[in-house]
Amino acid sequence: MDRNNRITNENLLYGLIFLAALLVRLLLLGQTPLLESEAGWAYQAWQFSRGENIAVGSQVGYLAVSGGLFTLFGGSDFLARFWPAFVGSLAVWIPFLLRKKIAPVPALVTAAGLALDPALVAVSRLAGGPVPGLVFLGLALAAFHTSRMSWAVFFTGLGLLSGPDYWLGLLLLGAVLLVSKLAGFFNPGEYLRTRIAKFKESSDEGLSRLLLPVLLLGLLGSFALTNFQGLTAWVGALPEFVSSWVRPQGISPVRLLTALLISNPFTLLFGGVGMIVSWRIGDRTGKLLSICLGVVVLILLIYPDRQAEDLIWMAIPLWWAAAVELVRIYESARDSWAAYAFAGLVAVLLTLNWLTFIGMVFQPVTNRTLPLQLGLFAASLALVIISMIIVSSEWGGSAAWKGLAAGVGLVLVLYLISSMTLEAYLREKDPRSLFAGGRGSGQLELLRDSIADASLTATGRRDSIQGIATAESDSLRWALRDFQEIRFSSAIDPGNPAPLLITPAEDFSRVDGEIYRGQDFVISTRPGWKGVVPDDWISWIAFRFGPIEREHIILWIRNDIYSGY
């Protein structure tokens, strides 16, 4: 009876973690306009929802699900991002499937970490982003490890329908397996034979059970039997991935590592310590995790198309190792008031130092203030060392290390939540964000409202005005999707002036100022600095402040439309 209660309570905890993961990914999901990279996929899905006959892109899964949602509920920024956000929340079930391998408590900690990881949360909120590739690969491997072959086939199929990022994951997996085999820690061939033999011996698993996931994948890939291009379009993800190795369009390796350090120092510290400890105590799983992390970092550093979003591939090994190390530290010493008092002291000192650090934003850094800041840090460090010596001498070294880890961990958890909030809500789709891909959203909602007002004045309806848009942009196409009378063309007929024009800001001379009145709008933004961080790097680390550059378009309305105003 106790065992059943324990399993029930454990499942309930995973369910609550999943709901929390889903909530933080869906909260304010449609608040900001789509980025250019998001709008291209969303606009394709919207075209499919209207029955237009266009070529299917490699992200068949996203197009099929989002197109179906648009058909049922209409197009919106929220629904355009719903599929990757929902899939991102499924990451918490990876440690659930592997909980016997990880151990129950570390598995729960890993699940909670994946639910709130700043990179995973922020990237899950990108339409057409790489999260489905990571999550479906992780779920497929976990299902295969636990001999759930029908689920493994289903998740593998969903991964193949997720675009080029899934192939990056397969490359990383293959490299990890190769290095692990060469190092003598893992034999992939023997592992596969063992799993296949277990599958054949299972009485409740058979080839017939693989038929249902295959049918479901076929239904999804064929857009519910309405467009069979998707059954083959997913193959195009492989040449897309291969071509990404010959187009160096990614960020610099230093910028990638900087984003890793700033976004989540919690897992870097405790995961890194856990991997080092695993080599010292001979823990085979920890060694494999360290090899996995090392291979992923190395490949991402040499991958020419690397982006900050690729940091999600480090999340699972880092959180796994961090969770195991946190549990090991907690169990290394008995609970005592001294350890927790020391933890409180460490947390207070770290918080004071952080507040002092970000306080430098509001005061000039001079030859006098900088030594004072460094002196405060040195004094805090000395106080921590002295306190640690006292606790260690009276209550043992394990209690001292436990208190130190608890204090540092508490502050870094608060930093993690702050970083997640900053990237997912406060600075979402801002070019100064770590995970916006170097581009930010513009004033497209304001543009839509202005066009709707002009349409209402000219035609009596908010979506019926005729016009021409010469500005070529996926985000603009997505924003204007409901204005059926606005067409995209590079030509403007001066002899037959359209009621409305939308042009790039640099093309303002093509428009006759005596016929039109114009208003500029920001269509996108980008970082206003060239290096890894802006000159005011403290403001950027603490608040993501920094200079930005804006790209404008101009909305031109024919003068006679507002002649009565």
User: Mind giving me the DSSP string for 503-532?
Assistant: EEGGGGGGS-TTTEEEEEEEEEEEES-SSS
Q: Could you count the other beta carbons within 10 Å of the beta carbon of residue 249?
A: 9
Q: Which residues of the chain have pLDDT under 70?
A: 1-7, 201-208, 364-370, 564-565
pLDDT of residue 194: 83
**Cα-based distances in Å from 562 to 448, 465, 555:** 17, 13, 14
Distance CA 387, CA 339 (A): 10
Three-state secondary-structure class, residue 548: strand
Percent of the chain whose predicted confidence (pLDDT) is above 70: 95
* 373-392 exposure pattern, b = at least 16 Cβ within 10 A, e = fewer: eeeeeeebeeebeebbeebb
Widest CA span in the chain: 92
Cβ-contact 475, 35 below 8 angstroms: yes
What's the one-letter identity of residue 177? L
pLDDT of residue 263: 94
With a CB cutoff of 8 Å and minimum separation 6, the contacts of 409 are 266, 270, 326
Strands 467-469 and 500-504: parallel
pLDDT of residue 375: 84
With a CB cutoff of 8 Å and minimum separation 6, the contacts of 446 are 521
Contacts 24+ apart (CB under 8 A), 542-547: 542/357, 542/358, 542/361, 543/358, 543/361, 543/422, 544/422, 544/426, 544/427, 544/430, 544/432, 544/433, 544/434, 545/361, 545/432, 546/432
What are the backbone dihedrals phi and psi of residue 520, each rounded to the nearest 5 degrees, phi first?
A: -90, 150
Name the nearest CA neighbour of 53 among 235, 232, 226: 226
With a CB cutoff of 8 Å and minimum separation 6, the contacts of 41 are 57, 59, 62, 63, 66, 80, 127, 128
440 strand-pairing partners: 525
DSSP structural state of residue 234: G
Exposed, middle or buried, 6 (CB in 10 Å: 0-12/13-18/19+)? exposed
Please give the structure tokens belonging to residue 247.
Answer: 């187009």
pLDDT of residue 368: 63
What's the one-letter identity of residue 102? I
How far does Cα 232 stand from its chain's mean position?
27
Distance CA 341, CA 349 (A): 12
Three-state secondary-structure class, residue 35: coil
Exposed, middle or buried, 268 (CB in 10 Å: 0-12/13-18/19+)? middle
DSSP structural state of residue 33: P
pLDDT of residue 450: 95
Angle among Cα 138, 194, 314 to the nearest 5 degrees reads 20
Name the nearest CA neighbour of 24 among 151, 156, 122, 147: 122
Distance CA 147, CA 202 (A): 9
Distance CA 293, CA 279 (A): 14
Q: Give percent helix, percent strand, percent coil of the chain, each to the nearest 5.
A: 65, 5, 25
pLDDT of residue 2: 45
Cβ-contact 155, 136 below 8 angstroms: yes
